[in-house]
Structure 1
Amino acid sequence: MQFGIFSVGDVTPDPTNGREPTEHERITAMVTLALKAEEVGLDVFATGEHHNPPFVPSSPTTMLGYVAARTSRLVLSTATTLITTNDPVKIAEDYAMLQHLAGGRVDLMLGRGNTGPVYPWFGQDIRMGIPLAIENYALLHRLWREDVVDWEGRFRTPLQSFTSVPRPLDGVPPFVWHGSIRSPEIAEQAAYYGDGFFANHIFWPKEHTQRMVGLYRQRFEHYGHGRADQAIVGLGGQVFMRRRSQDAVSEFRPYFDNAPVYGHGPSLEEFTEQTPLTVGSPQQVIDRTLGFREYVGDYQRQLFLVDHAGLPLKTVLEQLDILGEEVVPVLRKEFAAARPAHVPDAPTHASLKVAAETVPVSR
């Protein structure tokens, strides 16, 4: 099982002292977190894509290319790549290039985004979000698998005898996770292609996540990719830890109360009771995370959000130390012991290359 962190790259004032980092400070902090993730033994670093304040990661491939040059083992991913407002041709070329530069240590999560104004900024209509996601990915999927593509669709100019360059490393496209919080159409899309499904798992109660993952698993099996429990599932989640749970709660409370995504709403206690947000001791994070398996089944990737809401870099680095030293080793052992032999690991470039050499590509 893969464990890692993802960052949405928000530039948020620290509510305890009012200091707001500069964009430069926030960008370099994200790189520092990626390097720290590899240092403490995590598997994945993922960055969001945003084109509006208060966020800075507008160019994920630029950041991930820089991180690739400074790491040797870390899988580099996104959280998410906007399949609706990015041109599929540019996605195909950018991530194939990154894949070559990173020696295959690349996958990506596709999503529609959660900021309405971004659509007209890139010439699109938010009311077409789902059709855009479906059509654009159908083209992206072909661009990585066919050397010459003829294409005519609804949302972009036709392609005639087009070849996307560079071609994917070793002829193996980056693995794709389809990320969604609330859209069953995206779970269906992931299942149709046999791709991964990533449930953000931050804002909604477990029953909602259970329904979405259950739909994806059912349709994955329907399309003949394997048994439902062999479908490739990832979960997100936010944690904040201190040795004593009461210290974690008191320290995190002002950050939660003023967070740009969920602040000024339900109390911290209500939110942690109703959603997977975990604020407490390392053991509480371990217990809560192990409990996710009870309602989504065995899954392949767990990403934690640790740097949101104005938390200072020093504090976030302390969170990564705790994850790497105390939490993830236990989770690895416990998840591995419970996983049936027929449930696959998270795909990597190496495993996909072996599969491509032995199994004909379908769809």
Structure 2
Amino acid sequence: MQIGIFSVGDRTADPATGRLPTERERIKGTVEIALRAEQAGLDVFATGEHHIPPYITSSPTTLLSYIAAKTSTLHLSTSTTLITTNDPVKIAEDYAMLQHLADGRLDLMLGRGNSGPVYGWFGKDSRKGVDVAIENYALLRRLWDEDVVTWGGKYRTPLQNFTSTPRPLGGAAPFVWHGSVKTPEIAEQAAYYGDGFFANHIFGPPQRTARMIGLYRERFEHYGHGPADQAIVGLGAHAFIRKNSQDAVRDFQPYFDNAPMFPGGSALADYMAQTPTIAGSPQQVIEKTLSFREYAGDARRILFALEVGGVPLGTTLEQIDLLGEYVVPELRKELAADTAGE
């Protein structure tokens, strides 16, 4: 089990002060968040890829390379690498290069993204998003697995005797997660290749997450990668932690109200009851996270988002400390006990 955090990378004004961080402050702050995650004993730091304001994470490989040079144990990942708008050749080269620089402390999560205009900016058709994702990944796998590739497809020009450089570190490609909220074709793709499936159910109802993971587990076993309960599941979650629940709810409320990704007019208590979001004490966060097993089974990775809605850097660093000191040790203990009892 890996436990870590992921950054959405939005640049949003703090509703308490109205102050909007500069792009430089937000970028440098993201590095500071990753460094604090390692200091707090977390396993993973992941960042998304976005090409639309107000996000600042347009180049995750650049950001993660810088973080890799400043860390020694932290595993680095993306929470989205856009398999639709990035060329598979560039993904193969960029992430193999980063794999070498990070001494292997790297994997990536592929996704289609949820911003329609981005497709057009990169010369792609959003209506073909799923088909492009499937074709591009098939090529990416070959580029990493084969030294010389001749290939022809529907959505990019052919390749003739092409070698992607550098080659993956030690001949082993970076591990791949396929991230999705509600697209069964992506769960099927992850199962077909025996890759990880990351259900980012940060906003979604548990019932939908259960259906997606159930499909992935069933197909993982169907393709001969092992028993369904051994399928490689990851989960996204969202937490805001204070030492007591009243402070957590009070302090998080303005950020919940400010965040565009949350439904306007929703009561925080009702929203938490229906989704994986939790604002509460460390014990409440532990209990809520352990409850994911009821509908998702055992997960290999859980990543928390801690900074949505304009949460300032200082508060985010406090959240990481609370996560590392109180939540993560108990989660590891509980999950290890469950595994030992099997």
TM class by smaller structure? over 0.9
1:353 aligns with none
The letter for the 2-side match of 1:51 is H
User: Once the 2 structures are TM-superposed, how far is the Cα of residue 3 of structure 1 from its aligned partner?
Assistant: 0.5
1:62 aligns with 62
Q: Distance in 2 between matches of 1:29 and 1:73?
A: 20
Q: Give the 3-state SS of the residue equivalent to 2:318 in structure 1.
A: helix
CA RMSD of aligned residues (A): 1.0
The letter for the 1-side match of 2:277 is L
Trace 1:246-261 onto structure 2 (pairs within 5 A). Answer: 246-261=246-261
Q: Distance in 2 between matches of 1:123 and 1:26?
A: 29
Trace 1:115-154 onto structure 2 (pairs within 5 A). Answer: 115-154=115-154
Deviation string, structure 1 residues 176-219 (Cα, Å, up to 9, x no partner): 00000010000000000000000011111111111100100000
Trace 1:18-29 onto structure 2 (pairs within 5 A). Answer: 18-29=18-29
Deviation string, structure 1 residues 3-40 (Cα, Å, up to 9, x no partner): 00000110000111110000100001100000000000
Trace 1:207-222 onto structure 2 (pairs within 5 A). Answer: 207-222=207-222
Q: Provide closer, same or farther for how the CA distance between residues 21 and 164 of structure 1 changes in structure 2, counting only shifts above 3 A.
A: same
* Structure 1 range deviating more: 332-341 or 206-215: 332-341
Q: Distance in 2 between matches of 1:112 and 1:336?
A: 34
Q: Distance in 2 between matches of 1:115 and 1:239?
A: 24
Deviation string, structure 1 residues 279-334 (Cα, Å, up to 9, x no partner): 11100000000111121111100000001111111111110110000000000011
Q: Give the 3-state SS of the residue equivalent to 1:339 in structure 2.
A: helix
Trace 1:275-314 onto structure 2 (pairs within 5 A). Answer: 275-314=275-314
Deviation string, structure 1 residues 210-268 (Cα, Å, up to 9, x no partner): 11001000000000000000100000011001111111111110100110211524221
1:101 aligns with 101
- Tell me, which stretches of 5 or more residues in structure 2 are unaligned? none
User: Once the 2 structures are TM-superposed, how far is the Cα of residue 339 of structure 1 from its aligned partner?
Assistant: 2.2
1:114 aligns with 114
Q: Provide closer, same or farther for how the CA distance between residues 144 and 265 of structure 1 changes in structure 2, counting only shifts above 3 A.
A: farther
1:36 aligns with 36
Runs of 4+ in 1 over 3 A off after TM superposition: none
Q: How many equivalent residue pairs? A: 342
The letter for the 1-side match of 2:239 is V
User: Once the 2 structures are TM-superposed, how far is the Cα of residue 340 of structure 1 from its aligned partner?
Assistant: 6.0
Q: Distance in 2 between matches of 1:164 and 1:29?
A: 33
Q: Give the 3-state SS of the residue equivalent to 1:26 in structure 2.
A: helix
Q: Distance in 2 between matches of 1:65 and 1:280?
A: 34
The letter for the 1-side match of 2:128 is M
Q: Give the 3-state SS of the residue equivalent to 1:165 in structure 2.
A: coil
Q: Distance in 1 between matches of 2:292 and 2:157?
A: 44
User: Does the CA-based 8 Å contact 1:257-1:267 persist in structure 2?
Assistant: no
Q: Distance in 2 between matches of 1:65 and 1:101?
A: 7
Q: Distance in 2 between matches of 1:330 and 1:255?
A: 27
Identity of aligned residues (%): 69
Q: Distance in 1 between matches of 2:178 and 2:326?
A: 30
Q: Distance in 1 between matches of 2:306 and 2:273?
A: 19
User: Once the 2 structures are TM-superposed, how far is the Cα of residue 341 of structure 1 from its aligned partner?
Assistant: 8.5
User: Does the CA-based 8 Å contact 1:255-1:311 persist in structure 2?
Assistant: yes
User: Does the CA-based 8 Å contact 1:282-1:322 persist in structure 2?
Assistant: yes
Q: Distance in 2 between matches of 1:73 and 1:126?
A: 38
